[in-house]
Amino acid sequence: MSARFGRLPWLWLSLLVFVIDQASKFYFDNALTLYQQIVVIPDYFSWTLAYNTGAAFSFLAGASGWQRWLFALIAIVVSAVLVVWLKRLKPDETWLAMALALVLGGALGNLLDRVIFGHVVDFILVHWQHRWYFPAFNIADSAITLGAILLALDMFKSNKSGETTP
């Protein structure tokens, strides 16, 4: 692919994340009732259905509804920035392209939920012997988190702008 398109071919990963995210949300939204829990690994991991009208960790979930459109707008702007960034990447910036594609796929998956349903569908629940619970999340959230980790790791790679890390 020519340099004209930068690393846009990595959009296949964004599409894959988006499709898997939407398919899994569709499945769990239809297979479970709200807050129903199916234990997969006792004391550690369950499937559950939860709706999040807020952002990460249910931030602003209790607001009156305006947050739906704020988070949708943020997702649209971030997605546009990520596509432009992907287009401008150099051929050797594979890890960065992968990170951006993961974040983009996750952002678009949660954006669709927000716009269509008014909430994000979550279904993965990690807990510790019923004493500690991590907030429910989904494939999109996982992709965004993995992409953010790859972005952070990419910052520490050597040979960025001709510099080496000590």
Q: Supply the angle between the helices 139-155 and 94-117 in degrees, to the nearest 10.
A: 150
The pLDDT of residue 4 is 74
The pLDDT of residue 159 is 56
Kindly report the number of other CB atoms within 10 A of residue 165's CB atom. 9
**Which one of 21, 92, 113, 141 is the catalytic residue?**
141
141 is catalytic: yes
Terminus-to-terminus CA distance in the chain, angstroms? 34
The pLDDT of residue 131 is 77
Q: Distance between CA atoms of 50 and 44, rounded to whole angstroms?
A: 17
154 is catalytic: no
The pLDDT of residue 88 is 94
Q: Tell which residue, 107, 144, 142, 100, has the closest CA to residue 11.
A: 100
Residue matched to tokens 């997969």? 40
The pLDDT of residue 62 is 56
> HEC profile for 10-22?
HHHHHHHHHHHHH
Q: Where are the chain's structural domains?
A: 18-38+46-53+63-155
Within the chain, which residues score under 50 in pLDDT? 1, 164-166
The pLDDT of residue 65 is 61
**Which one of 43, 92, 122, 154 is the catalytic residue?**
122
